[in-house]
Structure 1
Amino acid sequence: MLHRASSLAAAIAKAAHPLTGGAGDYTPLLDMVGDANYVLIGEATHGTHEFYEERARITQRLILEQGFNAVAVEADWPDAYRVNRFVRDQGDDTDAVQALLGFQRFPSWMWRNTDVVNFVTWLRSYNDGLEPDDKVGFYGLDLYSLFTSMDEVLRYLEQVDPAGAAAAKARYACFDHYQDDSERYAYAAGIGVSESCESAVIAQLQALQQRALEYMQRDTANAHDAYFYAQQNARLVINAEAYYRTMFRGRVSSWNLRDQHMADTLDALVQHVGARTGTQAKVVVWEHNSHIGDARATEVGRLGEWNVGQLARERYGDQTRLVGFSTYDGTVTAASEWGGRAERKQVRPALAESYESLFHEVGMERFLLDLRKEGEVRNALMDRRLQRAIGVLYLPQTERQSHYFHAQLPQQFDAMIHVDRTSAVVPLEEVSKPTGGEAPETFPAGV
């Protein structure tokens, strides 16, 4: 058995596939994906250039070589759908930078950065010349856009059913005295000082669904897509209302509701893309490791949390592949407090007894490790170790408490990509501040 770190590191070096920047870097990963339809690719921070760049390289190959037809990301539905319209040549934006303007709330650098611009530009170019139903879409899975999504439901109904829009506005009036401030609603409804708007938002989704066939049969371009977009916004309003209402009841309740929403949105997207294309939906998901690594293999899973990776495995079985990222040190774009500036921060060397420290000892700058392959390496990696997770905040002064948890890597992921020294993602703006009343992305957990 491999127990000593040095002998295990040497064994990992033999088992790992080096990443050199060549065209064949991820061929072993694509072979491992095989016929799977859902590939969830993580990141160990929300602000590392190499994670975004390599994730994009993998996604491009999945689209080009294995027929993947949708990209779903840890972002709000309306903001990402603006990008979807751009890459499918349906919107008014003239370039990727403009298409990403919807991402204005803290932390805007998560999506308004040069790596995302490069990928979105590539996706638009790839889609050019394809039939409308064959174009790869770009979608958001998250649920923070409570008030924005209400506005989008109303905007849709004003175009297709003015009387329905008036009824919807009356239902959503329950939120009027919160002045588009979702955190204010969270506090008031969460501690019971005001009535919740739960029944009103459920009634609105039901009203929308009752006339679905009529709305989708309208003689306009993209009628089916337009209804799907509106319906998902109405569903999001229900789940966002519940999320904010449970926020003050503890981390587990709000985390689980959020990840349940993201997994359910993925389900809805799979059905929609399959119906639109007449083929099997094949989706690449981009989220933080904390969301796409199977929670059952972590200490937070033992506390009752589940996540998108766990739910995807439970729902799709062997059609799912989970890919994580890690780094030893370098720089990262992150803030020091909620709503703070985007800073280029130094990432401390990983703590001893962590997977990151072990991978540093391997002595390879970048490598891919297949965690599904049975053998001594996989067995040795089953020993619980620390794993680092940096979200939109990086707090090196409380490194252990703020950014580490225990995990069993081979049960958490199917493959791991390690980049030993990484660099900060480059935001499109120097400073990232909250705008409007919506809660910040990743609030309150940070990932």
Structure 2
Amino acid sequence: MNTIPKHVVIVVFLLLCNGFVRAQTGKERLNQLINAQTESLGSFLPADTFTAFTRLHEMVGDKTIVGIGEATHGTKECLQAFMNIATRLIRFNDFKIIILAESEFSDTRALNDYVVNGKGDAISALRYIRHFPEMRVEYDLLPLVEWVRNYNLTQTPANKVWMMGAENKGMQGVAEDALSFIRQTNMPVADTFKQVLAVWANLSLGMMNEYPRMHPLEELEPQFTAFRKAASLYEGDAQLKQSVEQIEYSLRIHYMKYGPEKVEGRTIVRDSCMYDNIKWIKTSRPGAKIIVYAHNAHVQKGILYAVGKEYTSFGYLLDQQFPGQYYTIGTDLMSGTFEVGSGIAPITESDDKFAAILHAATGKENGIFYFQQSETVKKYFNKKHYMTWANLSSTKSKLQAVTNITTDFDALYFAKLSTPVTLAPAWDSTARFGLGFKLTDAMKEDIKTNGFLQLEIKSVINTPEIRWPGTGVSVALLLQGNSKLVDLKAQVIDSTTCTTRFLVPPGYNPENLILALYGNNISSMQLQEVAVNGHVMDLQSLNAANVNVFNQRTKVEYYKTQHKDNGLVIQRVDGSLP
């Protein structure tokens, strides 16, 4: 049996040891570089200490847009990092606008009014963002809202910080803005189209799927396009007009999600819409630097980090529109849990995730890592690794494969442990009442003969000084048949005397009609006279059985009713809204 010479064994052993030492030395050197480019995250409060991110203002430099991403929509650490970064950029880099990109453009008008002018209160301003992020940011974002408000108290009007949204995926707010623009400009619009807008402005969650079934996109889109083009010729409130410019986007987004035939590309349309609104906000305040907060997939500069497939993010569009001015900070999470609205979901773990790599290299619980300071580090991180990805419908986070991450992000915030955001208790964002009218036989016969229901309402409506989104009164006509809803029509009551005509299909049985009045957030309403096709209704016959004045879920009484001067008064109960 042949044996390997002893000197050969020694040489091989030494070579292996040398390779091991070099490998260890290379890894140690990489870890040293990573540590040199990482700084820890301090606590957000007290905000004015600013012990964290001491180099952030140097890294951002003279950039005019900073995009801050989040790996999930339900991680407290992502929000805390965003708040810490945002307040520091405001104090040290003179940033003047915070854009919560996935919050509604129209609904955040009240939020901006609070931080700039002090109208209302912070909790209400957040509650009335009716879509994302709704309850999920109420408690955890509140410190930033109050900080911005207090900061603005020390600033001149020209230097105050704005807080706005950029989303237009909710038709309610866009339709409200369109109706407000029509009233403001006295723009001539057919009653039938104003009725369509009124339906969208009051569309309940339960009707999100129903209305697209009754009215396909092909029917409505030409009407919305014609309206948008006509509105472009009128001068009015600039933000209302910008909202009207987005009305077709909102319509398409709604049908992509709720239409009978789900359409792909919803995210692409959303990003185009958010980009247009962000660009409009920036243009509206020349020279102001902006901070944009959204999911990683939206703020990224490239099209590599996507929801299962490539798409153009608004971050890519901003980087192209403002070359050299856009700085992006992504986020990644190593472990823990996050909130998805319906419960708590786990973070999927992997040693090859960026957060795990950064934690192992630095030993830090969390921090911000700057890619651009070392070519060696950039080369390593541009290899295939993984990031946390999750949205509101996730049952757990996904491992998203990413290559060339430094083309997407300039820096990365990481956290070892993700904890869920704090959700508010169950509540309704608006104080509502509903009033059902009883149609007489004479009214029904007249409707059947004429093919329409003409409603005349004389009333006095008192609204609070602060008009939160959704404030107002509308009348709705529901057409039922064969155990399902056939159509839905509505009209906003915006004057003391309101007359509207609802067309009814030929041969339709008026016995299946439901006529109702709905109010949101008003102080009071005095119904003086209601007539249907000339037949005056007996308001004295309306009683508690006709009026729903409390929340069915929480049993909170919002309004009380009383008969007065041959009419009906619906009065807000003080302190009824939590």
TM, length-normalised to structure 2: 0.62
SS in 2 for 1:297: coil
Q: Distance in 1 between matches of 2:242 and 2:314?
A: 18
Asked if 1 retains the 8 angstrom alpha-carbon contact of 2:128 and 2:429, the reply is no
Say yes or no: does 1:294 pair with 2:293.
Answer: no
Say yes or no: does 1:154 pair with 2:179.
Answer: yes
**Residue 366 of structure 1: aligned partner:** 366
Residue identity (%):
20
**Residue 285 of structure 1: aligned partner:** 292
**Residue pairs, 1:177-256, within 5 angstroms:** 180=203, 181-185=207-211, 193=216, 195-212=218-235, 215=236, 227-247=237-257, 248=261, 250-251=263-264, 253-256=265-268
**Residue 77 of structure 2: aligned partner:** 50
Distance verdict in 2 for CA 1:185–1:385, change over 3 Å: farther
**Residue 354 of structure 2: aligned partner:** 355
**Residue 422 of structure 1: aligned partner:** 418
SS in 1 for 2:372: coil
- Structure 2: unaligned runs, 5 residues or longer: 1-21, 44-48, 433-469, 471-578
Distance verdict in 2 for CA 1:304–1:432, change over 3 Å: farther
Residue by residue over 1:41-61, the C-alpha shift from the partner in whole angstroms, topping out at 9 and shown as x without a partner, is 111111122211221121112
Distance verdict in 2 for CA 1:235–1:434, change over 3 Å: same
Q: Once the 2 structures are TM-superposed, how far is the Cα of residue 182 of structure 1 from its aligned partner?
A: 4.4
**Residue 505 of structure 2: aligned partner:** none
Asked if 2 retains the 8 angstrom alpha-carbon contact of 1:354 and 1:386, the reply is yes
Residue 19 of structure 1 aligns with an amino acid whose one-letter code is: L
SS in 2 for 1:103: coil
Counterpart of 1:411 (choices 407, 428, 441) is 407
Question: Which is bigger in relative contact order (C-alpha 8 A, separation at least 6)?
Answer: 1
Asked if 2 retains the 8 angstrom alpha-carbon contact of 1:329 and 1:420, the reply is yes
**Residue 324 of structure 2: aligned partner:** 318
Q: Distance in 1 between matches of 2:229 and 2:117?
A: 31
Q: Distance in 2 between matches of 1:138 and 1:101?
A: 15
TM, length-normalised to structure 1: 0.79
SS in 1 for 2:111: helix
Residue 125 of structure 2 aligns with an amino acid whose one-letter code is: A
Residue 251 of structure 2 aligns with an amino acid whose one-letter code is: E
Q: Once the 2 structures are TM-superposed, how far is the Cα of residue 422 of structure 1 from its aligned partner?
A: 2.8
Residue by residue over 1:30-80, the C-alpha shift from the partner in whole angstroms, topping out at 9 and shown as x without a partner, is 111111100011111111222112211211121122221111112111221
**Residue pairs, 1:42-81, within 5 angstroms:** 42-73=69-100, 74-81=102-109
Residue by residue over 1:334-366, the C-alpha shift from the partner in whole angstroms, topping out at 9 and shown as x without a partner, is 23xxxxx3x3x2534522432233223222212
**Residue 157 of structure 2: aligned partner:** 132
Compute the RMSD of aligned alpha carbons. Answer: 3.2
**Residue pairs, 1:10-49, within 5 angstroms:** 11-21=33-43, 23-49=50-76
Residue by residue over 1:145-187, the C-alpha shift from the partner in whole angstroms, topping out at 9 and shown as x without a partner, is 21322112213432x33x42x6175434446777724444556
**Residue 277 of structure 1: aligned partner:** none
Q: Once the 2 structures are TM-superposed, how far is the Cα of residue 5 of structure 1 from its aligned partner?
A: 11
Counterpart of 2:314 (choices 298, 308, 332) is 308
Moved more, 47-56 or 311-320: 47-56
Q: Once the 2 structures are TM-superposed, how far is the Cα of residue 375 of structure 1 from its aligned partner?
A: 1.9
Distance verdict in 2 for CA 1:124–1:82, change over 3 Å: same
SS in 2 for 1:42: strand
**Residue 459 of structure 2: aligned partner:** none
Asked if 1 retains the 8 angstrom alpha-carbon contact of 2:112 and 2:164, the reply is yes
SS in 1 for 2:169: coil
Residue 287 of structure 1 aligns with an amino acid whose one-letter code is: A
SS in 2 for 1:393: coil
Structure with the larger strand share? 2
Aligned length: 397
Q: Once the 2 structures are TM-superposed, how far is the Cα of residue 266 of structure 1 from its aligned partner?
A: 0.7
Q: Distance in 2 between matches of 1:124 and 1:433?
A: 22
Q: Distance in 1 between matches of 2:313 and 2:84?
A: 25
Q: Once the 2 structures are TM-superposed, how far is the Cα of residue 3 of structure 1 from its aligned partner?
A: 11
Asked if 1 retains the 8 angstrom alpha-carbon contact of 2:318 and 2:326, the reply is yes
SS in 2 for 1:298: coil
Q: Distance in 1 between matches of 2:346 and 2:24?
A: 28
SS in 2 for 1:88: helix
Residue 395 of structure 2 aligns with an amino acid whose one-letter code is: L
Say yes or no: does 1:273 pair with 2:298.
Answer: no
Asked if 2 retains the 8 angstrom alpha-carbon contact of 1:387 and 1:407, the reply is no
**Residue 167 of structure 1: aligned partner:** 189
Q: Once the 2 structures are TM-superposed, how far is the Cα of residue 298 of structure 1 from its aligned partner?
A: 3.0
Q: Distance in 2 between matches of 1:4 and 1:347?
A: 36
**Residue pairs, 1:326-365, within 5 angstroms:** 326-335=332-341, 341=342, 343=343, 345=344, 347-348=346-347, 350-362=349-361, 363-365=363-365
Distance verdict in 2 for CA 1:118–1:19, change over 3 Å: closer
Distance verdict in 2 for CA 1:196–1:282, change over 3 Å: farther
SS in 1 for 2:218: coil
Asked if 1 retains the 8 angstrom alpha-carbon contact of 2:104 and 2:165, the reply is yes
Q: Distance in 2 between matches of 1:370 and 1:267?
A: 26
Q: Distance in 1 between matches of 2:391 and 2:428?
A: 15
Say yes or no: does 1:96 pair with 2:122.
Answer: yes
**Residue 395 of structure 2: aligned partner:** 395
Structure with the larger helix share? 1
SS in 2 for 1:383: coil
Asked if 1 retains the 8 angstrom alpha-carbon contact of 2:65 and 2:289, the reply is yes
**Residue 221 of structure 1: aligned partner:** none
Asked if 2 retains the 8 angstrom alpha-carbon contact of 1:355 and 1:386, the reply is yes
Residue by residue over 1:314-352, the C-alpha shift from the partner in whole angstroms, topping out at 9 and shown as x without a partner, is 1111100000111211232223xxxxx3x3x25345224
Asked if 2 retains the 8 angstrom alpha-carbon contact of 1:321 and 1:414, the reply is yes
Q: Distance in 2 between matches of 1:435 and 1:41?
A: 35
Asked if 1 retains the 8 angstrom alpha-carbon contact of 2:355 and 2:415, the reply is no
Distance verdict in 2 for CA 1:368–1:129, change over 3 Å: closer
Distance verdict in 2 for CA 1:284–1:20, change over 3 Å: closer
Distance verdict in 2 for CA 1:434–1:333, change over 3 Å: farther
Q: Distance in 2 between matches of 1:358 and 1:351?
A: 9
Counterpart of 2:143 (choices 102, 113, 118) is 118
Q: Distance in 2 between matches of 1:354 and 1:184?
A: 42
